[in-house]
Structure 1
Amino acid sequence: MGARSDLSNCAGQKWGTEKLMLRSGGLMLALLVTAAAPWPSATGAQEAYPTRTVKIVIPSAAGSTTDTLARIVADHLTHRWGKPAIVENIPGGAMNIGASNVARSAPDGYTLLIAPPSPLSFNHLLYRDPGFDPRGFVPIALLAKIPNVLAVRNTLAVDTLKELIDYAKANPGKLSYASQGVGSTAHLSAAQLEAQAGIKMVHVPYRGAQPALTDVVAGHVDLFFDTLATSVPLYREGKLKLLGVADARRANVAPELPTLSEAGLPGFRSITWFGLVGPSGMSARLAEKINHDTVEILTSNDVADTLRRLSLEPCITSPTDTARFFAEETALWSQVIKEAGIEPQ
């Protein structure tokens, strides 16, 4: 799949001045990043930000991991800024509705988007008209990540990734995998598994992660790429088998689980991450200002501890790092989508 940025530790990066031009899967990102500072207005005066309420759009329903993370960040931004940062849920359309709402907003920093991978890295590859240009966002920061894990039903007679692959090769088309729908991270992760392992499985799409996971636990579907946060408790209760973590390093919450790379799929990565972006046209200085304030929040012990209790790992990155990572994710999933033969809807 090629080399990718290692976010396994989500390490902080230094801020500086550089111009980054990235071309990946037809996606061009151009970002001039400068040191965090107030920015001049048309009159030359330095403007304050924010001076009023900042709206943070979440393209999913209340109660989702994205929503929970956004509310933690918004609450701390409110205290830091002295102005309200409010969360507005705009779900629907495979997250395209909420994303397009932000893409059409004024680039003044008062409408932002916090989203998982799909609208920020691959929805434009799955939908002919997602309602927004994928270049229509200014990357601000990666907030957090959570690795995905390969979960299988307890009654499946495999205990390791190798045994799963051997079973799939001996029984082509017999294994089934659940997902949250066509083009979801779980779908694309399973497609990546098929391509890398040289196997074929049956896709069973659901309308959400919870019903998908429920049917795997019940034994109606064989496997599911789920997040650690929801799978590990079921694994501890003996209701699921977990064959490996789809990240560069083992998970602290379940260190006994190998990475899928260790288990036999070199370089296999599938993480759910959460990015903060603004509309096209937002100034680099404003993006850096918001990034700086967000980083200050994420590096505080109380916020970092809160996120880790949710199995989320804080990711401290500059706008440049964020842009680079989005481009790499687009390249990865573009290749997976092409190899899986998934046609845009």
Structure 2
Amino acid sequence: MRPTVRRWLSNVLLAALFVVLSVVPGATQDAYPSRLVKIVLPNAAGSTTDILARLIADQLSRKWGKPVIVENVPGGGMSIGSTQVFRAAPDGYTLFLCPPSPLTIMKLLYRDLPFEPSQFTPIALLVRVPNALAVRKDLPAANVKELIDYAKANPGKVTFGSQGAGSTSHLSANLIDLLAGTEMVHVPYRGAVPALNAVMAGQIDFFFDTVTTSVPQHRAGNVRIIAVGSTERSEMVPEAPPVAETLPGFRSVTWFAMAGPPGMPAELAKKINQDINESLARPETKERLQKLSLEPMPGTPADAAKFFVEETELWGRVIREKHITVQ
């Protein structure tokens, strides 16, 4: 074959190959994931967020056949890890797993955040755990109505604990104030354990805690759970009715979600979402979650986006109308 003919055939074959690759979607790209995936947490190791992230990372690694690692980036009130993900490439190789604050509450309390929560790409709601209204064992209130009546009869004297201004427990008690017309006194602590211990010691009147840690103390008779923050009863403490039965519109749950950097393609977010939902539905995963008192929240990226907006609106109202600020 003459060199000119050989070159001509080579050029034709290359042109044909280019046409084929250009009309086959994704033909020039590796299937996702083709390498290591990193899940960034804005919390320290050992937290519920950390345990959940490692469980999901293990399940996704098995499904994808690629390593999925967890990177803890604590500090800055969760803003350091949040900012790292916000500035990452939206290619699916850096994911964000977090509790509510970075996606909803932080933007309502802090100015000049180095990231914009609403621009994260919603991927999936993961799990939730109801918050419990745990009161000191000798508080003269057996239910939410009696707590409200007691607070109105003793204005400025009923106290509640929290992990700090702007925390879910702080906002939850303020939501009761807002809906019931009460004025209760906030006592901040350095974490949930000291706040719960203060209720057990009778130093404060109540604390919104997760059912995971408060139910054992309730069963032991150290505190009394008179209601839960979810809109339905919790399997962990079925005798406690929802606060919403007395105060319609009340909701207080701790939840965890996954998001991606701004600009992540919708199809990529959808794929990760489907793989997460499949992982959460596996019997071994459900068993692990049940032991942690975590309830799966299956849904689509659109469901996650809608939920983020609803939570932002709920707590935004409380922060505005109760004039909540952070020091």
Which residue pairs with 2:11 in the alignment?
A: none
Q: Does 1:73 align with 2:56?
A: yes
Q: Distance between the aligned counterparts of 1:55 and 1:277, measured in 2?
A: 12
Greater helix content: 2
Distance change (3 Å), C-alpha of 1:192 and 1:54: same
Q: Distance between the aligned counterparts of 2:129 and 2:230, measured in 1?
A: 9
1:250 aligned to which of 233, 253, 271: 233
Q: Which letter maps to 2:306?
A: R
Which residue pairs with 2:113 in the alignment?
A: 130
Which residue pairs with 1:25 in the alignment?
A: none
1:224-246 deviations in whole A, cap 9, x for unaligned? 11111111111001111111011
Q: Which letter maps to 2:152?
A: K
Q: Does 1:308 align with 2:290?
A: yes
Q: Is the 8 A contact 1:125 1:344 kept in 2?
A: no
Q: Distance between the aligned counterparts of 2:239 and 2:75, measured in 1?
A: 37
Q: Distance between the aligned counterparts of 2:153 and 2:69, measured in 1?
A: 53
Q: Does 1:338 align with 2:305?
A: no
Which residue pairs with 1:181 in the alignment?
A: 164
Which residue pairs with 1:45 in the alignment?
A: 28
Which residue pairs with 2:188 in the alignment?
A: 205
Q: Which letter maps to 2:226?
A: L
Q: Which letter maps to 2:255?
A: W
Percent of residue pairs identical = 57
Q: Is the 8 A contact 1:40 1:47 kept in 2?
A: no
Q: Which letter maps to 1:242?
A: I
Q: Secondary structure at the match of 1:55?
A: strand
Q: Is the 8 A contact 2:39 2:69 kept in 1?
A: yes
Q: Secondary structure at the match of 2:198?
A: helix
Unaligned runs of 5+ in 1: 1-38
Q: Is the 8 A contact 2:95 2:259 kept in 1?
A: yes
Which residue pairs with 1:19 in the alignment?
A: none
Q: Is the 8 A contact 2:35 2:67 kept in 1?
A: yes
Q: Does 1:295 align with 2:277?
A: yes
Larger CA deviation: 220-229 vs 129-138: 129-138
Give the count of matched residue pairs.
304
Question: How far apart are 1:331 and its partner, in Å?
Answer: 1.0
Q: Does 1:95 align with 2:82?
A: no
1:244-272 deviations in whole A, cap 9, x for unaligned? 0111110112111111122x112311111
Q: Does 1:218 align with 2:226?
A: no
Q: Distance between the aligned counterparts of 1:205 and 1:189, measured in 2?
A: 13
Task: Pick the structure with greater CA Rg.
Answer: 2
1:281 aligned to which of 242, 245, 263: 263
Which residue pairs with 2:219 in the alignment?
A: 236
Q: Distance between the aligned counterparts of 2:290 and 2:228, measured in 1?
A: 17
1:146 aligned to which of 125, 129, 142: 129
Question: How far apart are 1:122 and its partner, in Å?
Answer: 1.5
Q: Is the 8 A contact 1:148 1:271 kept in 2?
A: yes
Q: Secondary structure at the match of 1:327?
A: helix
1:51-108 deviations in whole A, cap 9, x for unaligned? 2211111111212111111111011111111111111111222212211111111111
Q: Distance between the aligned counterparts of 2:203 and 2:325, measured in 1?
A: 27
Q: Distance between the aligned counterparts of 2:116 and 2:25, measured in 1?
A: 28
Q: Secondary structure at the match of 1:94?
A: helix
Question: How far apart are 1:304 and its partner, in Å?
Answer: 1.3
1:295-321 deviations in whole A, cap 9, x for unaligned? 110111111121122111011110011
Q: Secondary structure at the match of 1:135?
A: helix
Q: Distance between the aligned counterparts of 1:241 and 1:343, measured in 2?
A: 30
Which residue pairs with 1:5 in the alignment?
A: none
Q: Distance between the aligned counterparts of 1:97 and 1:230, measured in 2?
A: 27
Which residue pairs with 1:325 in the alignment?
A: 307
1:267 aligned to which of 249, 257, 261: 249
Larger CA deviation: 335-344 vs 275-284: 335-344
Q: Distance between the aligned counterparts of 1:216 and 1:129, measured in 2?
A: 36
Q: Does 1:112 align with 2:67?
A: no
Q: Which letter maps to 1:140?
A: I
Distance change (3 Å), C-alpha of 1:40 and 1:174: farther
Q: Which letter maps to 1:117?
A: P
Question: How far apart are 1:47 and its partner, in Å?
Answer: 3.0
